[in-house]
Amino acid sequence: PFPWRLRMSFAMDMARALAYLHARNCMHRDLKGENLLITANERIKVCDFGFARIAARNEDEMRRISYCGTDGYMSPEILLGVDFSLPSDVFSLGVIFAEIASRHLVDSHTFKRTMPSFGLDADEVREMASEGCPHAFIQLALDCVEEDPRDRPEMRQVVSRLRDIEREVLLRE
């Protein structure tokens, strides 16, 4: 297993990349572990921008946005076929954070999504967190996977909270 220092560094790399995209009103739309590369110097690079696009600015543009992504990482609004935007990427990032916390990948049994809400089970995320996982990181993952997109943090907030968590982990180690 990677040490928590490195896991938080990975999380920060992902968050900064997504914050960069969101600052330019761009959605990745397929954020998942398979679209993350680890470099030789242990940095994360977000890749596969085949589904990326500028977020809709009005209702007409919203009607033209296609639904895409990978089931285990898709936000409830995408799975339910309703309007979606930048917070959908935040949901996907929250699923990845839950994977980092637990050292388990999302599948048909782990972090299973069920109707009618298609949200993650907060108790499962907490119970599966591996030893030494900062409680603040678990809470950040849960905040990112809130069912209502309006309740999810914006990427600036995610980066800020991760900075504090990373500092806590470095002091602890």
Cβ–Cβ under 8 Å, residues 73 and 66 = no
- 1's CB contacts (< 8 A; 6+ apart) are 103, 130
Q: How confident is the model at residue 112 (pLDDT cuts 50, 70, 90)?
A: confident
The tens digit of pLDDT for each residue in 14-31 reads 999 999 999 988 888 788
Catalytic residue, candidates 13, 30, 89, 107: 30
Q: How confident is the model at residue 6 (pLDDT cuts 50, 70, 90)?
A: very high
Indicate the residue type of 155: M
Cβ–Cβ under 8 Å, residues 151 and 144 = no
Both ends of the chain: CA-CA distance in Å?
15
Percentage of the chain beyond pLDDT 70 is: 87
Beta pairing partners, 26 = 54
> What is the pTM for the complete model shown?
0.86
Q: Which of 9, 1, 2, 4 is nearest to 172 (CA)?
A: 4
121 belongs to the catalytic site? no
pLDDT of residue 111: 86
